[in-house]
């Protein structure tokens, strides 16, 4: 187990280095001078030159990279060109927001996806299965940003049931916080619910065919019990693993949802930063997100390894 | 000052109607401000926050008269090279530092010498300061500067605490300390900026809110939805297309003021190789484009009639507008004739870059469709604002749909764009006579004489047409009907003096 | 966020190759596909939009860029069935012509991903060692950056246009195909008959052509169909952010981008492009699912 984990981590190191180079390079390739972008309406050549020096934009690219990576290693991701705030501080501010959004979306996904998946597997081939499948695929096919603006129009503008946008920290007002996040979490959760439903269905189908379940049935246990207690428990392993993986994707995937609902999280930060050419912010966020993604992957692999005895014997 | 008295009275009356609970005013902005340091900041929305956070030496009235704020009175010497100001007594900064002549001197020095300062050009005419007493200061100029007071009514005149500024240096913006009606509490990027009432504010009686929260909400529909649901008390930049709807809603109201700025199409006249094309070289073509446009129709289709048509750097309602050159009516035949005269009887292509924002693209598509009738085939290249600015400065454009948020003094709308080698002259337009006239208008203190200079310059620019001016934006605010006492200013700022909210 | 039906990173690819598959009669696959009602529905949906895109010029609809100042943001009427947009253009006509941008974006960007991804995957899977190491690490690095963020950054780098959006999406989708192909090649390579072919001295190109290609084709086909769905949404997302199709040419994403400013006065502007995206993406998803079931020997 330890060896397995170690190997995964060692393999991940070059990947992380590649990501850092990649992220850095991409930023440098972006057209539009960040200093000019931040100069905005007033462009004083002297100040622009001073800022270029200050942010070391005149150094060769590789020197800039080394400077940046040195900072990264010591936990300093640089400062935002736009607001002068340290990037680490920005990330610390944004992370809880996106995690809350992701968690709430996950709740939606689990509550819808798992029961639907079980039902569809048990009723395989029936009209229920068929409908569940089409609904799930619909969830995957709806453009989230469109669903978002439609919900804002209906729920917030026409019916005025929920706030149209924004973010309230749960520490300020838990209920309001949940209310504000309800629509975006639903929007983000739909696609995920669909994915989860499909995976639950296939995992359940696999287990239902197994000798183990056949035996349970043969023993004359009632069907409900067989399905929930025996089959579902066994199907749980791949589902849990998948959920861990999806969580990483969720955090990364909040980009447009946050944009539509004006939620000050990770995704909005990075998109705004790309448009404002706020280099340090884009680099910092993408690096952190990518590393989070890799860590989630390793954890999911580890969980899969631990939970799956056959793999262990190999 | 009767205006102030009446608002004060109104404020006192409404203050008694207010409940005892803490009053928060929530104001939705169209974007997140940049760094909150008056000397480093460069966004329009940033200035809106400063209006509550930082007092200036002088302020303006809605009619653009300069009125006292931290300076109570001032006088010029004979030749206009010395400005002596008497300062308000008993004013303190949010950190307790006393406001006095030394503080003003330190602020001017900061604007002039801090490496990161964006205010250098605005206070360039100042050669030094002389503290005459605790509350009296003399500002010495190298030459007369008609624009200086207007500059001191904006960010260059905002007073920051010298103690805090010395301590924080370039990081001042993370925790700004000024002397305005509200002090800085916290900022969460892209989420909110919270200010709280400064109890020792010299004019605290006119301030009726305990806290002010600024919320950046980029989408105008979402901004309005927040107002309708009561989540915010007022929003900035209501979309023109939403005005009618808000007017019909008894729980909301609309306030508007024509802005000081303009929107137009800037041509590349002499900025690098790309200026070497018919559009950059032949003013007749630019004239033809102008004649192909129905500015009033643009105003109606895109702005629902809220954005007055314009053809100069100043709006038609400005005292600086040259009334001898009115907005021309659409004349497609004349436009065709001009094209033919210039050798393009079969029409001509034109590439225009525009920021990829919905309103700009809508505007450009309307223009595209109008110009096509005269034989001008426009292709729109939408760019992100950052890229567009950078291409514009580098001369990598033929024509650019761009605007300016406007300044109180007319100089701010024209000098930087139209004089040779000026910082924002991306067209690289150059005309010695225009240079002379605009420089002269800067150092002339006599208003009538300045007006003559601007009229003469405008007449030359009308012929040369480096910029085809299109329209002047109107600032539109939507407020909860319970909000009272708000006064719309053409500078687009939201001033809290006298504003209150009834239950 | 992206409707990404692909399995997450380390789980096995959802489509398994069957070396015996090619031996089967084609019509059996077809029969299986047809027996799938939902797959047929998918095919019909996709077919409908393809026909719409192809025959757009022949349909009796107004020019999608023709403006009418007198009919700005007018609701559905006899003259304009789906209403008009912010500068008086016919929404139905823009919707029909917009199908071209969406389908092109889907097909071309996936084409780019296949053209780059499949050869790289074969290289990595067939030769292993350092080649595999380098290609796999790069793939993993790219996969760790969220798809849409990558596409946005690339599109911003290339500048807003439909072509650039397609390139950005194509490049962002490439790693998926690299990994899928690599996995397939590795598993096929380990089959006895391929090892046998090696033993009797068959040349590498011949082995690739005779054994590897036919086996990676079905899963790549399925993945491509599903990725077209993702790519169409991605194009719409980029256009929604102003990074895709440029005005005045219509695209569903840019129609939505404009429409969101007129939500309460002109909701029809936002309704139809969204439904169109939904239907065509659903079509490709159903089609991909059907293809997978038809080509996958494990189920049924």
The reply to whether B444 touches chain C by the CB within 8 Å rule is: no
Strands B234-235 and B262-267: unpaired
Taking CB atoms and an 8 Å limit, are C256 and A253 in contact across chains? no
| Rounded Cα gap, residues C263 and B222, in angstroms | 10
| Lowest model confidence (mean pLDDT) among A217-231, B83-97, C110-124, C286-300 | C286-300
Mean pLDDT, rounded, for A225-254: 75
Residues 58-117 of C with CB under 8 A from A: none
Nearest to C156 among B242, B382, B384 (CB): B384
Is the confidence at residue A198, as pLDDT, over 60? yes
Q: What is the DSSP letter of B380?
A: E
Residue of chain C minimizing CA distance to A156: C264
Segment among A87-91, A247-251, C146-150 with least mean pLDDT: A247-251
If one compares C19 and A166, the residue with the highest pLDDT of the two is A166
- Its ipTM equals 0.85
- Ranking A191-195, B65-69, B98-102, C18-22 by mean pLDDT, the lowest is C18-22
- Helices A266-276 and A87-122 pack at an angle, to 10 degrees, of 130
What are the beta bridge partners of residue B24?
Answer: B211
Please compute the mean of the pLDDT values over residues B183-201 and round it to a whole number.
94
What does the mean pLDDT of chain A come to? 83
Residues in chain C closer than 8 A to A246 (CB atoms): 8
Q: Is the peptide bond before C89 cis (omega within 30 degrees of 0)?
A: no
B297 at interface of C, judged by CB pairs closer than 8 A: yes
Mean pLDDT of the B18-45 span: 84
Angle between helices A279-307 and A232-253 (to 10 degrees): 170
Backbone φ and ψ for B96, nearest 5 degrees, come out as 95, -15
Contact between chains at B42 and A34 (C-beta distance less than 8 A): no
Q: What is the DSSP string of B179-218?
A: -SSEEEEEEETTTEEEEEE-TT-TTGGG---SEEEEEE--
Cβ contact B196:B22 at 8 Å:
no
Q: Which residues of C11-47 are buried (b: 16+ CB within 10 A; e: fewer)?
A: bebbbbbbbeeeeeeeeebeebbeebebbebbbebbe
The mean of the pLDDT values for chain B is 92
Contact B383 C159 (CB under 8 A): yes
From A85, A163, A261, residue closest to B231, measured CB to CB: A163
Does residue C8 surpass a pLDDT of 60? Answer: no
- Return the pLDDT at A242: 75
Nearest-angstrom CA–CA distance, B313 and B468: 10
Residue B405 is predicted with a pLDDT of 87
Contact C142 A270 (CB under 8 A): no
Higher pLDDT among residues A304 and B325, named by residue = B325
Question: By the CB < 8 Å criterion, does C130 face chain B?
Answer: no
d(CA B97, CA B162): 8
Q: Is the pLDDT score of B12 beyond 60? A: no
Rounded distance, CA A218 to CA A211, Å? 10
Q: Where are the alpha helices (DSSP H) in B342-446?
A: 358-372, 385-394, 411-418, 432-443
CB C235 within 8 A of CB C109: yes
Q: Is the pLDDT of residue B5 over 90?
A: no
Q: Does A249 sit within 8 Å of C145, measured CB to CB?
A: no
Determine the residue of chain C that is closest to A142 in CA distance: C278
List of chain C residues whose C-beta atoms are within 8 Å of the C-beta of residue B297: 69
Mean pLDDT of C220-239: 92
Q: Is the pLDDT of residue A91 over 80?
A: yes
Q: Does B384 touch chain C (CB under 8 A)?
A: yes
The per-residue pLDDT for B45 is 92
- Looking at the complex, report in whole angstroms how far the Cα of residue C199 sits from the nearest Cα belonging to chain A: 28
b/e string for C87-102 if b means 16 or more Cβ within 10 A? bbbbbbbbbbbbbbbb
* Nearest residue in chain B measured CA to CA from C157: B387
The answer to whether residue C123 scores a pLDDT higher than 50 is yes
Which residues have a Cβ under 8 Å from the Cβ of B115 and sit 6 or more positions away? A47, A50, A54, B170
Say if the Cβ atoms of B231 and A33 lie within 8 Å.
no
Closest chain C C-alpha to A157 CA, distance in angstroms: 8
Q: How crowded is residue A92: how many other Cβ atoms within 10 Å of its Cβ?
A: 10
Please give the Cα distance from A97 to A99 (Å, whole number).
5
pLDDT at B20: 42
Residue of B nearest to C254 (CA): B358
**B245: nearest CB among C72, C257, C264:** C264
From B233-237, B268-272, B397-401, C83-87, the region with the lowest mean pLDDT = C83-87
B271 sits in the region (left: phi over 0; alpha: psi -120 to 50; else beta) called beta
- Chain C hits for A294, CB-CB cut-off 8 Å, are 140, 144
Q: What is the pLDDT of residues A56-73, one digit of tens each?
A: 778 888 888 898 889 988
User: Range with the lowest mean pLDDT among A23-27, B113-117, B277-281?
Assistant: A23-27
Average pLDDT over residues B433-451: 94
Task: Give CA–CA dist B460/C33, Å, rounded.
Answer: 74
Confidence class for position B42, pLDDT limits 50, 70, 90: confident
Alpha-carbon A221 to chain mean position: 40
Q: What is the DSSP letter of A206?
A: H
Residues A15-45: tens digit of each pLDDT: 888 888 888 887 777 666 777 766 655 667 7
Residue A256 predicted with pLDDT over 50: yes
Where are the extended beta strands (E) located within A187-295?
none
Decide: A266 and A100 in contact? Cβ < 8 Å.
no
In this predicted model, which residue has the larger pLDDT, B165 or A268? B165
**pTM for this entry:** 0.86
Q: What is the DSSP string of B264-278?
A: EEEE-SSSSGGG-SH
Answer whether A311 touches C (CB < 8 Å).
no
A194: contact with C, CB 8 A cutoff: yes
Q: Is there a contact between B301 and C248 if contact means CB atoms under 8 Å apart?
A: no
The pLDDT-based confidence of C6 (bands split at 50, 70, 90) is: very low
Write out pLDDT tens, residues C135-179: 998 998 888 888 888 888 888 878 888 999 999 999 999 999 999
3-state secondary structure of C224: helix
d(CA B490, CA B409): 12
In sequence order, what are the beta bridge partners of B262? B404
Contact B225 A90 (CB under 8 A): no
Distance, CA of C157 to CA of A82 (rounded, Å): 19
User: At B43, is the secondary structure helix, strand, or coil?
Assistant: coil
- Closest C-alpha among B155, B154, B193, B166 to residue B97: B166
d(CA A98, CA C65): 40
Check residue B10 and give its pLDDT.
47
- pLDDT over threshold 70, residue B1: no
The residue-averaged pLDDT of A227-244 equals: 77
B217-231 pLDDT, tens digit per residue, is 988 888 998 998 888
What is the spatial distance between Cα A27 and Cα C119, in angstroms, rounded to a whole number?
Answer: 28
Q: How much is the pLDDT for B95?
A: 96
Under a CB-based contact definition with an 8 Å cutoff, are residues C99 and C52 in contact?
A: yes
- Calculate what percentage of chain B has a pLDDT beyond 90: 81
Range from A234-243, A292-301, B272-281, C146-155 carrying the lowest mean pLDDT: A234-243
**pLDDT surpasses 50 at B310:** yes
The span from the first CA to the last CA of chain A, in angstroms, equals 12
Count, residues in chain B: 503
**Stretch among B235-249, B301-315, B441-455, C8-22 having the lowest mean pLDDT:** C8-22
Query: How would residue C3 be classed by pLDDT, with cut points 50, 70 and 90?
Result: very low
Average pLDDT over every residue of C202-230 = 89
Residue B227 has a pLDDT of 93
Q: Testing the interface with C: which of B241, B299, B390 to mutate, by most C Cβ within 10 A?
A: B241
CA of C197 vs chain A CAs: smallest distance (Å): 28
CA distance B82 to B106: 18
Q: Which of B267, B300, B287 lies closest to B339 in space, CA to CA?
A: B287
Residues A236-248 pLDDT 10s: 777 777 777 776 6
Report which of A260, A284, A283, A256 is spatially closest to residue A271, judged by C-alpha positions.
A256
Q: What pLDDT was estimated at residue C188? A: 86
Average pLDDT of span A180-199: 90
At which residue do the structure tokens 């539109």 appear?
Answer: B476
Per CB-CB distance under 8 Å, the chain A contacts of B123 are none
Q: What is the pLDDT of residue C265?
A: 83
Q: What is the mean pLDDT of residues A109-132?
A: 88
HEC string of chain A equals: CHHHHHHHHHHHHHHHHHHHHHHHHHHHHCCCCHHHHHHCCCCCHHHHHHHHHHCCCCCCHHHHHHHHHHHHHCCCCCECCCCCCEHHHHHHHHHHHHHHHHHHHHHHHHHHHHHHHHHHHHCCCCHHHHHHHHHHHHHHHCCHHHHHHHHHHHHHHHCCCCCCCCCCCCCCCHHHHHHHHHHHHHHHHHHHHHHHHHHHHHHHHHHHHCHHHHHHHHCCCCHHHHHHHHHHHHHHHHHHHHHHHHHHHHHHHCHHHHHHCCCCCHHHHHHHHHHHCCHHHHHHHHHHHHHHHHHHHHHHHHHHHHHCHHHHHC
When computed from its CA atoms, the radius of gyration of chain C, rounded to whole angstroms, is 22
Q: Which residue of A has its CA nearest to B406?
A: A41
């Amino acid at each position: 187990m330890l060896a397995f984990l170690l190997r995964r981590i060692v393999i991940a190191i070059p990947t992380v280095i590649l990501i850092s180079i990649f992220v850095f390079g991409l930023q440098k390739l972006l057209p539009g001078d960040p200093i000019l972008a931040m100069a905005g309406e007033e462009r004083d050549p002297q100040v622009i030159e001073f800022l270029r020096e200050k942010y070391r934009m005149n150094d060769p690219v590789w020197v800039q990279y080394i400077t940046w990576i040195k900072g990264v290693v010591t936990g300093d991701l640089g400062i935002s060109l736009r607001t002068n705030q340290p990037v680490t501080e920005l990330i610390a501010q944004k992370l809880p927001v996106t995690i809350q959004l992701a968690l709430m979306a996950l709740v939606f996904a689990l509550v819808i996806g798992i029961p639907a998946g079980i039902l569809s597997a048990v009723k395989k081939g029936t009209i229920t299965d068929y409908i569940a499948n089409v609904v799930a695929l619909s969830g995957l096919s709806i453009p989230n940003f469109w669903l978002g603006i439609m919900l804002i129009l209906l729920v917030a503008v026409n019916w005025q049931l929920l706030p149209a946008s924004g973010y309230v920290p749960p520490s300020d007002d838990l209920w309001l916080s949940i209310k504000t996040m309800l629509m975006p979490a639903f929007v983000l959760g739909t696609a995920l619910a669909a994915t989860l439903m499909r995976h639950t269905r296939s995992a359940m189908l696999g287990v239902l065919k197994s000798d183990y379940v056949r035996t349970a049935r043969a023993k004359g246990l009632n069907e409900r019990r067989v399905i929930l207690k025996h089959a579902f428990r066994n199907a749980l392993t791949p589902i849990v693993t998948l959920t861990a993986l999806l969580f990483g994707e969720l955090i990364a995937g909040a980009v447009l949802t946050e944009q539509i609902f004006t939620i000050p999280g990770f995704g909005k930060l990075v998109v705004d930063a790309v448009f404002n050419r706020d280099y340090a912010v884009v680099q910092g966020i993408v690096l952190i997100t990518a590393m989070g993604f890799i860590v989630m992957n390793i954890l999911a692999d580890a969980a899969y390894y631990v939970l799956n005895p056959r793999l262990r014997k190999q | 000052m009767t205006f102030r008295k009446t608002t004060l009275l109104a404020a006192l009356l409404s203050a008694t109607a207010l409940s005892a609970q803490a009053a928060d005013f929530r104001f939705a902005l169209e974007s997140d401000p940049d760094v909150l340091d008056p000397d480093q900041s460069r966004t329009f929305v940033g200035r809106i926050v400063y209006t509550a956070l930082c007092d200036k030496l002088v302020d303006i009235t809605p009619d653009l008269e300069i009125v006292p704020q931290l300076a109570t009175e001032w006088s010029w010497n004979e030749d206009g090279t010395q400005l002596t100001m008497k300062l308000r007594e008993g004013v303190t900064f949010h950190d307790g530092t006393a406001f006095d002549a030394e503080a003003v001197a330190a602020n001017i020095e900061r604007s002039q010498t801090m490496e990161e300062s964006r205010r250098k050009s605005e206070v360039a005419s100042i050669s030094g300061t002389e503290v005459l007493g605790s509350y009296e200061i003399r500002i010495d100029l190298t030459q007369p500067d008609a624009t200086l007071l207007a500059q001191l009514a904006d960010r260059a005149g905002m007073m920051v605490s010298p103690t805090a500024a010395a301590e924080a240096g370039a990081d001042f913006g993370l925790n700004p300390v000024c002397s305005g009606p509200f002090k800085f509490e916290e900022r969460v990027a892209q989420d909110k900026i919270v200010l709280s009432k400064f109890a020792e504010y010299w004019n605290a009686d006119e301030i009726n809110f305990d806290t002010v929260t600024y919320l950046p909400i980029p989408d105008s529909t979402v901004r309005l939805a927040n107002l309708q649901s009561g989540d915010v008390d007022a929003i900035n930049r209501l979309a023109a297309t939403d005005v009618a709807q808000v007017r019909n809603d008894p729980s909301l109201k609309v306030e508007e003021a024509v802005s000081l700025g303009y929107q137009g199409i800037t041509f590349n006249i002499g900025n690098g190789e790309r200026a070497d094309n018919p559009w950059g070289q032949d003013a007749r073509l630019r004239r033809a484009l102008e004649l192909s446009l129905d500015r009033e129709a643009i105003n109606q289709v895109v702005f629902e009639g809220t954005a007055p048509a314009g053809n100069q750097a100043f709006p038609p309602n400005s005292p600086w507008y040259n009334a001898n050159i009115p907005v021309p009516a659409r004349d497609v035949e004349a436009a065709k004739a001009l094209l033919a005269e210039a050798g393009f009887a079969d029409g001509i292509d034109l590439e225009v870059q525009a920021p990829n924002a919905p309103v700009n693209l809508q505007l450009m598509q309307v223009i595209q469709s109008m110009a096509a009738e005269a034989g001008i085939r426009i292709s729109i290249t939408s760019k992100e604002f950052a890229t567009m600015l950078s291409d514009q400065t580098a001369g990598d454009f033929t024509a650019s749909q761009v605007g300016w948020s406007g300044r109180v003094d007319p100089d701010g709308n024209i000098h930087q764009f139209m004089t040779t080698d000026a910082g924002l002259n991306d067209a690289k337009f150059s005309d010695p006579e225009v240079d002379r006239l605009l420089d002269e208008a800067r150092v002339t203190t006599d208003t009538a004489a300045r007006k003559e200079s601007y009229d003469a310059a405008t007449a030359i620019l009308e012929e040369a047409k480096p910029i085809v001016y299109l329209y002047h934006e109107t600032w539109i605010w939507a407020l909860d009907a319970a909000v009272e006492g708000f006064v719309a200013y053409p500078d687009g700022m939201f001033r809290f003096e006298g504003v209150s909210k009834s239950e | 966020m992206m409707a990404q039906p692909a399995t997450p990173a380390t789980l096995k690819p959802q489509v398994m190759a069957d070396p015996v598959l090619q031996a089967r009669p084609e019509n059996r696959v077809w029969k299986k596909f047809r027996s799938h009602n939902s797959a047929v529905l998918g095919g019909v949906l996709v077919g409908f939009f393809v026909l719409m895109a192809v025959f757009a010029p022949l349909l009796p609809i107004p020019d999608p860029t023709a403006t009418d100042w007198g009919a700005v943001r007018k609701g559905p009427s006899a003259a304009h069935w789906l209403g008009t947009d912010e500068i008086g253009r016919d929404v139905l006509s823009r919707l029909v012509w917009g199908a071209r941008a969406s389908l092109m974006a889907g097909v071309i960007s996936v084409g780019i991903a296949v053209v780059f991804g499949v050869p790289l995957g074969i290289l990595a899977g067939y030769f292993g060692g350092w080649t595999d190491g380098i290609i796999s690490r790069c793939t993993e690095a790219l996969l760790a950056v969220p798809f849409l963020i990558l596409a946005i950054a690339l599109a911003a780098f290339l500048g807003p246009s439909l072509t650039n959006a397609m390139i950005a999406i194509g490049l962002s989708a490439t790693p998926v195909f690299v990994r899928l192909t690599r996995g397939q090649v590795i598993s096929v390579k380990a089959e006895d008959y391929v090892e046998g072919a090696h033993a009797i001295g068959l040349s590498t190109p011949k082995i690739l052509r005779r054994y590897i290609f036919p086996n990676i084709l079905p899963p790549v086909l399925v993945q491509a169909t599903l990725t077209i769905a993702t790519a169409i949404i991605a194009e719409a997302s980029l256009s929604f952010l102003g990074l895709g199709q440029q005005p005045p040419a219509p695209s569903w994403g840019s129609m939505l981008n404009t429409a969101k400013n007129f939500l309460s006065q002109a909701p029809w502007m936002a309704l139809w492009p969204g439904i169109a995206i939904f239907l065509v993406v659903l079509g490709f998803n159903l089609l991909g699912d059907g293809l997978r079931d038809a080509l996958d020997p494990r189920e049924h």
